[in-house]
Chains A and B, each alone.
Chain A
């Protein structure tokens, strides 16, 4: 019985908003994150194309651009697919489908780690080609923005891993499994939509 009902709409305390305050808090947090990443993206846009020394992001004055679009497109696809597996984990948790929830959470974690692997590869490649935080204005704005995003992905991986580990306890994630996984999913999907914007602004739109 517990299996069938686990994870359905959480019986939260009555609030004057009619919603669960913990979920409201997560949306507040994501709202503040909009401002945080909005400022970072604005800074990148302000200085886009202003570097006077290379390496440059895109082809510039006969010099090949440093951004590797095919590789980053692959990592973008990986993060996109992690959103699909995340929403399946939420579905599994909300419907009491424990195996589906655990497998989907595991897949999301692995895809998140893969994305971080791509980002590490990219950063190392840029470093070997002479681009770092102090090289030019592109390096400064690029590394700060994508670095903060990568950190968010890392935090998401830890968040989901803690949920996955907790789900193996005898009591699992408890009667509010659906709520816990859904809240984590909100964070994960937000990280994905931030990357949707960064991918377009930084990689696809030329200088």
Chain B
């Protein structure tokens, strides 16, 4: 078996091919350009949810494919998703608790 064949076989077990990684990189770039276009457009109240959704797509793609979470042990996925959800819960709790206060306290 040639070296290239060995490499291809192993990539199937552990991740994607070089071409697929490059295509993902291109897709991430396109999403970033769309984000920029959205931020300069006048979409009103729809702008923030769209930007957050696009950002979430990029986040998930990098974690799943570049960090190999999709192909790796489910234990890592549970650990990372658990930590991320905990961080998200803390973020929501802090913003909910202090948002009103920050608008009434005298700030610089």
Contacts and interface: CB of A to CB of B under 8 A. Distances in A.
Interface of A: 4, 8-9, 17-19, 23-24, 27-28, 30-32, 34-35, 37-39, 41-43, 45-47, 50-53, 69, 73, 76-77, 80-81, 83-84, 86-88, 90-91, 94-97, 135-137, 182, 185-186, 189-190, 192-193, 196-197, 199-200, 203-206
A75 B27 CA distance: 17
A97 B17 CA distance: 13
A30 B14 contact: no
A154 to B, nearest CB: 20
* Interface residues of chain A: helix, strand, loop or mixed (majority): helix
Contacts, number: 156
B86 A34 contact: yes
Contacts of A137: 107-108
Contact of B95 (A35, A46, A87, A136): A46
Interface in B1-56: 3, 6-7, 10-11, 14-15, 18, 21-22, 24-25, 28-29, 32, 35-36, 38-39, 47-48, 51-52, 54-55
Interface of B: 3, 6-7, 10-11, 14-15, 18, 21-22, 24-25, 28-29, 32, 35-36, 38-39, 47-48, 51-52, 54-55, 58-59, 62-63, 65-68, 73, 75-76, 79-80, 82-84, 86-88, 90-91, 94-95, 98-99, 102-103, 107-108
Q: DSSP majority for the B interface?
A: helix
Contacts of A38: 87-88, 90-91
